Amino acid sequence: MTLDIVTSPLLDGVAHGFFGRRGGASSGIFEGLNCGGGSSDQAEIVVMNRDRVADAMGVSPERLITVHQVHSATAVTLHDRPLDRPRADAIVTNTPGLALAILTADCQPVLFADRKAGVIGAAHAGWRGALDGVLEATIAQMLAAGAQLADIHAVIGPTISQRAYEVGQEFLERFLHEDPDSARFFINGENGRYLFDLPGYGLMRLRSAGVGSAEWTRHCTYSEEARFYSYRRATHRGEADYGRLISVIRL
């Protein structure tokens, strides 16, 4: 089956893709292109899925680089495959032929590129990472690698949309404590709960940081079940685990 790959015109000229779940070898609750080595899916099947992604990106599997994601604001610059995956949530490189990959299942996958300077980045930005500054940390690493702020284009891929992201009072207060203007990313839900606009918040952080352009592909992981995995959807259904989507960019 053909892989389902979402791309953005903002990143034209740079090989990239937000991969959906279609076209993979996993079955059961992981049916599709599960690329999460941390899931309980069969390890050899996950490797097979990643190999398909590497092939689609035009690199060998060992040039498909991931980090040990921990919902942090840590970004690292890599020039080759690390012997031990660093604990981080964003990767930057200016090395041609290196494909940077981020795994998500509702959190924001964010791909960055400065085509002129030949610098790219990939970030995993859930609510905690976005609040703590992972997007700004990625940009800082890109600037250190030779990028120019006005030439950086950033795209948020499939993520959970506001209509599906119900949160409580404590969650709201964490954002208001950081910045009272964050209230505009919350609307009232049911039973005293709120609905949070994660991609809207991410776009605000990117634009406030001064990148040349930023957009969201406007795909919701929760509601588009046939195309995307969703941690929250799996949790609501009481499923034991969930698949992970992969988003990749390379020079």
Q: pLDDT for 116-127, tens place per residue?
A: 999 999 999 999
Q: For residues 64 and 81, give the distance between their C-alpha atoms in angstroms, rounded to a whole number.
A: 8
- Domain boundaries, given as residue ranges, for the chain: 5-161+197-243
Beta strands in 126-238 (DSSP E): 153-156, 166-167, 186-188, 194-196, 213-216
**Residue 1 confidence (pLDDT) above 70:** no
- Average pLDDT over every residue of 9-23: 97
Q: Residues of the chain with pLDDT > 70: what percent?
A: 100
Q: Is the pTM of this model over 0.85?
A: yes
pLDDT at 77: 97
pLDDT at 163: 97
- Average pLDDT over every residue of 37-47: 93
**Residue 239 confidence (pLDDT) above 70:** yes
Q: For residues 87 and 168, give the distance between their C-alpha atoms in angstroms, rounded to a whole number.
A: 29
Q: What is the tens place of the pLDDT at every residue in 166-201?
A: 999 999 999 999 999 999 999 999 999 999 999 999
Q: What is the tens place of the pLDDT at every residue in 47-86?
A: 999 999 999 999 999 999 999 999 999 999 999 998 899 9
CATH hierarchy code of domain 5-161+197-243:
3.60.140.10
* Tokens representing residue 243 in the block: 């698949």
